[in-house]
Each structure stands twice: as structure tokens, then as C-alpha cells.
Amino acid sequence: MKRRICIVLVLSLFALLGNASGWVRINQLGYLPRSVKVAVYLSKDSSVVQRFTLVDAVTGVEVFAGEVKLYDGSEWGMKSSGRLDFSTVEEEGMYYVEIGDVKSPVFRIASDVYKGTADYILKYMRQQRCGYNPYLNDSCHLHDGFIVDHPTRSGELINVTGGWHDASDYLQYLATSANAVYQMLFAYQQNPQVFADEHLANGDKGTNGIPDILDEARWGLEWMLKMNPDSGFMFNQIADDRDHKGGYRLPNNDKQEYGNGKYRPVYFITGKKQGLANYKNRTTGVSSSAGKYASSFGLGSRIFASFDSGFALLLRKKSVDAYEYALSDIGVTQTACNVSPYFYEESNYVDDLELAAWEMFQVTGEEKYMQEAVYWGEIEPITPWMERGTARHYQYYPFVNLGHAYLGKQEHGKNLLFMENTKNGLRVISERAVKDPFLNGIPFIWCSNNLVVAAITHAKLYRENTGDETFLEMESALRDWLFGCNPWGTSMICGLPEDGDNPEWPHSAIPYLLKETTFGGLVDGPVYRYIFEGLRGVHLSKADEYEAFNHGKAVYHDDMSDYSSNEPTMDGTASLSFYLSALEAEGIEQTNQKKR
């Protein structure tokens, strides 16, 4: 397995690689002093180890001993497993867990373990920029694009350059971009104190008096304004899956043809089924996309009021227009495909209308919007992927319902109902995880890591709103899952932590052509074996370094050719900004409490 040498300590080879039949998985970033701290033991040996110890890695002194909580490891291809809880240890320092003759990697307990992480993931967002790209110090797709699917203006050129590439291809979707904008604005709204100003608006190094996360959100908002040039005139995506024929190439060298020279197609929102070739989506209306426009514009208008009043006023007007348009043709807008049957299959819109109506209430102060937010929110009590434990690709999007969190916090007569609904969604996930040593009840469908982020976001906001810590251990386990406490022992965020095991070969042109990882990007995450085996064109390009851990219900490969589990996504990455900023803020508070 991949391990880089820790810059603080050089562990023995035995401690780094673990015993051939046993491994201890930990959060490689470390743990806040006052937090749930649990490692997970996996073994190919059926013999039961009853106790574990926590050892000071500097002195070698045992500081804690505890009982192993045993689990069945068979779902992960193991004969035994257990949870090793050392939450009572709060002294800052360097430690490792030892169970039998197996040692974990060294990790820290400290109040600053999450410092800078919410800004770190913005590296990937800047790398994904379309138009001027600060990572490449060059520009791309300056000729976007030509209108398709409009009843009278198809073929007309329109300037929609900007925004972000969706993932490792160069398609751009309104749904994922609007969600990314909202998630970053929400993170700043909730935890403004943690974000730095080290970049200019164009993403280059420098300071401009505006936190970098707002520079990034504005980059997306300005693109969305281009994609919604007039009332009731909206676009849903740029390019389509013909992009995939181009293979690995940097965006500034993208020469993929769409039949109109350098220009790429820009899909008009029709409210009806779309697809320029044999494959069609199942679009039924405009509400899901128009609702996303409305909520992002609405929150943007509130956040930017103290930075740029003119920009804020424009966003306010656009948000109200977008919400009214969302009500004009109730239904979902899905992305369009061309040469393959894969597209984003969004099938719910009430969550988009709920959040949009909430933002209209915040923007205008009119009580009717609060009533509408409650109405839409009551239609879908639980986000369906939570309840069903499965979904088609992006079927229930966004994966997190922030409208429920807002309505649960606001006094309006039904706030307790919305918190109860959130609790029920978390309860269903936790019930699926009862027998899992990682307490992971997330369905391992495509983009499972996005679902992990959604679950911990729901759990954190529910805990803050109610004070109920019923799901705190599950929340902590899912948090740790993203940083290495998973069967593969790898972080799911490229380059983080720098001295840890994290994706080095994501499905992207960056490692293929530039020989470095996509720093800050959250990869899709493990998928059920049957999904991996059933996808077109997915394979491995090298020996599987995680082969020993890929005999369970889900598989993960750090391999450029595995687009199902190892492709970083822009929206998944942006969705992490709230939770990481909350952890960093919690660390600051613990530091301040220690000083008092």
C-alpha cells in the first residue's frame, strides 16, 4: 500500500504497512481533542482480539487501554473486525493504536488538525475553472457556445464562457454548478471566520479583500448569469458526452468537435425530453433547474450585499425571476446525452422549490414564500436516497436538503416537523449501518462519497439545531471514512493529508499529462462490485494496490482508468466546504477554550 514517510516520526516498516493479516484504519488528518475518536481493526484471521492500546508515538508510553467492540467483517472480505474507541483521550500529541501485533499509522490529536482544509479543496475548484484557468495560467473554451433546442434561436452564438468543468471531462452542468455555488456560499455564511484571502478574483495568487471561497462562488454566479440572460430564458448545460471521445487532454488543448467549429452546444431548458441523437433524457419540466438558479442567486444576493451592492441587487432580481419561472412548468430538467445512455437522472424537484422559496422569504421578507417553502418541504419528508438506500445516477439531487435544515431552525409552527424528518432520514442510514464496523449505511452507488458528505452535513446541522447527539458516532465515522478510516486506508481527497495515503492517480488528464494529482478534489468513492463490473469502458490500467481489500461488497481503485470510483467531481468537492469549515471552526473554539 502507498505510505509516505511522516515528517514528524519515521515509523518502523511494520507500523507503516501493518501485519499481513490485520490492519488498523484511522483518520489520517487526526482528531480534535473533544471529539469522537474511533479506529477500525480489520483482520483476515478469525481469532478474536479483545483489547487494544493507544501509545504516545514520541515516548512509546501506553496512555490508554480499551475493549474492542467486535463486528462481523465478512461484508468487507474480512474474517473479523472491531471498533476501537479512545474518545476519552483529549491530550494533544502524536499517537498510534496497537492491537495484538498490529499498529496503525501515527496520527495527531490537536485542535488544528482541520486548519486550512476548507480552503485546500478550493485548489480543485480553481483547477476546474473554465475560461481563464489559474492552474494552467491559460484560457479555454473561449468560443462557448451555440444554442441548441430553442424553438427559434437554435444555432445562434451566445457567450457563456466561464464556470467550472463538471469533473474530469469538460462538460458543464447547471445543476452541479448551482449546487456548488450554494454549498460554498452556505459554508461562508455559517463559518466566515475560517476562510482566507490569498487569491484574486481570477484565481491567481494575491489578495483582494474578499475571502477566496467567495471569489470562487462569484466565478460560478457570473457564469450562471450568462446562462440565464433573461427572464424565463435559461440554459442547462454546455457540451455533451461527445466530449468523451477526445481522450485525455488539458482543457486549453480541447479540440473536440460538435459540428460548429470551435463552438460547443449550449442546451436550452425546454421542459421536455432532450437529446440530439438516439438517446433522450426524461425531462418533465423546469422546476429543478430554475429552482437551483433561484436559491443560488438568492443566497448570493444576501452574502454579497456587504461586498458589492450592485451585484447583490442584480442577483436579488434574478432570484425572484427564476423562482417564478420554476413554478411555470412544474417538473424536473435532466441533463442531455448523445452517444451513450448515461445522464444525470434527477427525478425530484420539490427540494429545489423548498430551498428556493426559503431564499425568496429571506430576500423579500414576504410571508407567502415561507408558506410555500413549508408546503414544498412537506411533500418530501426524507430525501429519497436515504430512505430507499439506492438511486439512479444523480436521481435525487442535491443529495443534501438544506431547506429542511433552515426550516427546522426557523420558528414557523412546523420547525419541529422538519427536524423530525431530518432525524428519520439519519435514522434509516444508521439502521443500515448497525452491523458495519465503519458505521457506514450509505449506498455504494456512483458518487458514494457525495452521499457521505450529504449525510454528515445533515447530521451536523441536525445536531446543531436540536442538541440531540444520537447520530454523533455515525457522523464521526463517516467523517473519518473520508480521511482513511475505510477498508482501503486511503483518504478520498486528493493530496490531503499531504503526508498520507490519498488518491495519486485520479481519472483525469492532470496525472496522465502533468504527472501530479488533482489537489483538493474529492473522488467519487467506492461502488458496489456489480456497478464496477457493469459500466462501459471501466477497467484497471495497472496492478491494484488495494486488491487485498477489494473482496467485499464495494470496490475502490486508485487508478486513472476507473472513472466509477476514482474520478474527482467539482460539486462533491464544493459540498465538503461547509463540513470542513465547521470542523475548523470547532478547532478554533477548542483552542480558545483551552486558553481561557
Q: Flag whether pLDDT at 326 surpasses 60.
A: yes
DSSP characters over 134-150: TTTTEEE-TT--EEES-
245-259 pLDDT per residue, tens: 888 999 999 999 999
**Percent of the chain with pLDDT strictly greater than 70:** 97
pLDDT at 10: 34
Give the number of other Cβ atoms within 10 Å of residue 14's Cβ: 11
pLDDT at 534: 86
Q: Flag whether pLDDT at 347 surpasses 80.
A: yes
542-588 pLDDT per residue, tens: 999 999 999 999 999 999 999 999 999 999 999 999 999 999 999 99
Q: How far apart are CA 229 and CA 226, in angstroms?
A: 5
Spell out the domain ranges in the chain.
Answer: 13-109, 112-227+235-268, 274-380, 392-566
Print the SS3 string covering 515-532: CCCCCCCEECCCEEHHHH
Q: Flag whether pLDDT at 195 surpasses 60.
A: yes
What mean pLDDT is predicted for residues 167-180? 97
136 close to 250: Cβ distance less than 8 angstroms? yes
Q: How far apart are CA 552 and CA 124, in angstroms?
A: 30
491-508 pLDDT per residue, tens: 999 999 999 999 999 999
Whether residue 398 has a cis bond before it, omega within 30° of 0: yes
Report which residue type is found at 202. N
> Would 13-109 and 392-566 be classified into the same CATH topology?
no
Query: Tell me, which fold does domain 13-109 have in CATH?
Result: Immunoglobulin-like (2.60.40)
The pTM assigned to this predicted structure is 0.95
The interaxial angle of helices 350-364 and 309-326, nearest 10 deg, is: 140
Task: Report the mean per-residue pLDDT for the chain.
Answer: 94
Question: Which stretch of DSSP H or E encloses residue 183?
Answer: helix 174-190
143 close to 263: Cβ distance less than 8 angstroms? yes
CATH assignment of 392-566, among 3.20.20.105, 3.40.50.20, 2.40.50.140, 1.50.10.10: 1.50.10.10
Rounded to 5 degrees, φ, ψ at 455 are: -65, -45
